[in-house]
Structure formats: C-alpha cells, structure tokens
Amino acid sequence: MLGITVRQLEIFVAVASAGTVSAAAQRLFLTQPAVSMALAELERQLNAQLFDRDRGRLHLSPRGRELLPAAQEVLERIQEMQHQADHPVTLTGELRVGASNTVGNYLVGDLLGPFVNRHPEVSLQVSVDNTESIIAGLLGHSLDVGCVEGPVNHHQLETLHWRDDALVVCAAPADPLARQATLKPRHFKDAKWILREHGSAMRAQAELALGSLPPGKILLELGQVEAIKQAVIAGMGIACLPRAAVTESVSTGRLVVLHTPFLNLHRRLSLVLHKSRYRGVLIEAFVASLAPSGDRMSPA
C-alpha cells in the first residue's frame, strides 16, 4: 500500500506552481532540504519522475502533468471537508485567475467584483497576459481559470460564454480617415496600422478585419492595449481597440471611433477551464458569480 502523505502532495503542487524548490519551501514555510526529500520520496513511491530539471527550474514531466490534477483534487477535497466542518458558509483558499489584456485592464471589476463581494476571505491571484499565455497556464495547471477574448480550440479545455464584446477602429481626430464623411473599404488603402503582438486574440481578430480591406502597412506591434491607444492618440496610425478601453478618450475628444459597418469586429469573452481539473467549491463559486442570476453559463 502506498504511504503517500498529504504533505507530500502539498509539496508536489507547490513546486509545480512555483517552479523551484526554494520558492515552494518559502510558500510552505519549510526548509529546502525538507521539500527536496519529500518530493524525492513521493517520486520513489510513485515510481515516476514528476519533474524535469532545467537550469535550476523544475518543469512538470509528462507523468507529472498527468498526476497533478489528481493531487490538486485530493488537497481540495480535504480542504472542503475542513471548511464544511469549521466554516460551513465561508469560503477560503486561493484561486489563480488568468485574464487577457482587455479583461484584466478594463473589465477586472466586472470579472472579480461579484466573487469578491460574496467571498471576501478567498485570496485571488490574478495574472494579466495574452490569450496564448493564459492557455499555456491552464494546460500547465499554473492557473485555475482563465478569461479571454476570442475562440479557444483545444481538446483539453472547455470554454463558457461570459459576455459579448466588440473592437472598434480608432484614429486621432486629425487623421484623414476621421474626417471622411462616409467610410468605404477603399479609403483604408495604405493605412498605417498599430497591432497587438502575435499570440493575442485581439491581434488575430484585427488581422481578419484587415484581410477584408485593401493592403495597408503594419507600422507598430505593441504588447499592451494602453500603449496602442497612446500611439493612436499621437497620430501614429489607426488601430482596432476594445470599446471598453477607449470610452474616456473618445468622450474627451482625443480619439475618434471610425464607422466601419463593413467589418465584423464582434467577439465573445469567455471563461476557460481545464477539463481534467477538479472543480472544487472555489472554481464553482467563481463560475457561478459570473452567471446570470439562477442560470448556468453556457458553452462558448
């Protein structure tokens, strides 16, 4: 019979999340030798190497990626048993959320507010990154839930529709396109575009829109929506930007939204979950906080 302990599973999960023994030791208030010994003993009992070592960092091995969701589920079920006994109503613990650039910078209150109001004792760790990185975090189990723009197609991930959204094409007030009474696709010939970096859903959608317009020039590629907005305000070019990101600048006259009914810039914002990840009370409560009252979130 296996003699695996809860502490060994805690160490396994902590090392997988932190990436190093030293960081996991600090998180668990243990010494590095104690963490290393417990991890080695767990690997011995499982007869499997859980991590690959590379330049001082530990990366989950194929076997480690396979076993991590089970270890997380065991720990979360134990926590839930303790909560039910000690705190039948109050939720505690940590939830790791990945938010894409638009959501993390402009809709974070809508994303997190309902959950924080209902469960103030839960610690939320939020990472803001592009969609590609958030998907990688979910697949690597360093994130519990993601919120991204655009479609996600991966057999290990499930997407739930959160809300509808749209991009808008913006220009500085002095830009010739902003002075055009009625815009047609032909007016965008040789336009200077400022785009997000590759790997972002916003970049992918902008490229689809550009594909239906005459050839232009990609002047800049920037990794943040705010940086793109400031470049457009400075008159450097035009860009597809989230509507939520430009409301204030439009109202103060620093930006103009171009009327482009010939472009399909609608999109969906979705929650993304790993199919094999145990959905304990924290994840279920987070999903429920974003669903319409009394309803369940529908697949995206």
Percent of the chain with pLDDT over 70: 94
What confidence category does residue 281 fall into, taking pLDDT thresholds of 50, 70 and 90?
A: confident
Contact 221, 196 (CB under 8 A): yes
Bridge partner residues of 123 (DSSP): 94
Give the three-class secondary structure for 163. Answer: strand
H helices of the chain, in order, are 6-18, 21-28, 32-46, 62-86, 101-106, 108-118, 131-139, 176-179, 201-210, 225-233, 243-251, 281-290
Distance of CA 114 to the CA centre of its chain: 18
pLDDT at 1 over 50: no
38's CB contacts (< 8 A; 6+ apart) are 7, 8, 11
Task: Dig out the tokens for 122 from the structure.
Answer: 């839960």
**φ, ψ (nearest 5 deg) of residue 12:** -60, -50
Give the three-class secondary structure for 182. Answer: coil
Instruction: Express each pLDDT in 149-193 by its tens digit.
Output: 877 889 999 999 999 999 999 999 999 999 998 999 999 999 999
Per-residue pLDDT averaged across 201-207, rounded? 91
**φ, ψ (nearest 5 deg) of residue 113:** -55, -50
Instruction: Decide which of 271 and 70 is more confident.
Output: 271
What distance in Å separates the CA atoms of residue 297 and residue 289, rounded to the nearest whole number? Answer: 10
Per-residue pLDDT averaged across 259-272, rounded? 93
Instruction: Express each pLDDT in 93-145 by its tens digit.
Output: 889 999 998 899 999 999 999 999 999 999 999 999 989 999 999 998 889 99
Tell me which DSSP letter residue 23 carries. Answer: H
All domains in the chain, ordered by first residue: 6-85 (1.10.10.10), 93-163+268-290 (3.40.190.10), 165-266 (3.40.190.10)
Contact 225, 242 (CB under 8 A): yes
pLDDT at 297 over 90: no
What distance in Å separates the CA atoms of residue 116 and residue 120, rounded to the nearest whole number? Answer: 5
